[in-house]
Structure 1
């Protein structure tokens, strides 16, 4: 059976939809810039897992990586680009269109550990 209708899932960004990536861009959306270690700790992933997702986001031009020296050490800073912020906003809009209700008030909306 074929349909010519539209479903909001077609607007989901496949890169942002990955759980780790969604966590990264969501954390970065709240700030202008954050260092690698802070995002790693917020998202609760290994350095290598975070690095892999950062590379993908940077290639998509959703993320800007800046390196700076702090003392004798190099520190990596991350920030969302305008395109990254727009992609997250569109992704969130598509998710809300799929859910179709206020998730915070939905039965069973409690997160594990809350």
Structure 2
């Protein structure tokens, strides 16, 4: 991945935070809200965008008669995130070698 090829999924701070949180495993909406410190509306919109991009899947269930929404990072999302992090690492290494 080159800097001009950054996927739309990684073009906002909140989307990067969501994906970063999901790397360690599935999270509920409430957990993502706590981790990212975002509002319900903003989180909902950005998670929906990540679903559209194929980076995240959503499952809905009921637990003790309460709705529970869980999000999981897809293989595509993990692959793109790894490529994104690798690209950033290469940029940093190039910057450090200029010192």
> Structure 1 regions of 5+ residues with no counterpart?
1-6, 104-114
1:48 correspondence with 2:69: no
Query: Whose helix fraction is larger, Structure 1's or Structure 2's?
Result: 2
Partner of 1:12: 6
Of the candidates 22, 26, 29, which is equivalent to residue 28 of structure 1? Answer: 22
1:73 correspondence with 2:66: yes
**Cα displacement (A) at 1:94:** 1.1
- Match runs of 1:76-91 below 5 Å: 76-91=69-84
Where does structure 1 differ by over 3 angstroms across 4 or more consecutive aligned residues?
Answer: none
Q: CA RMSD in A?
A: 1.9
CA contact (8 A) 1:11 1:94 kept: no
CA contact (8 A) 1:12 1:94 kept: no
Partner of 2:57: 64
Computing the radius of gyration from Cα coordinates, the structure with the larger value is 1
The separation in 2 between residues aligned to 1:92 and 1:14, in whole angstroms, is 15
TM-score (norm 2): 0.88
**Cα displacement (A) at 1:68:** 0.7
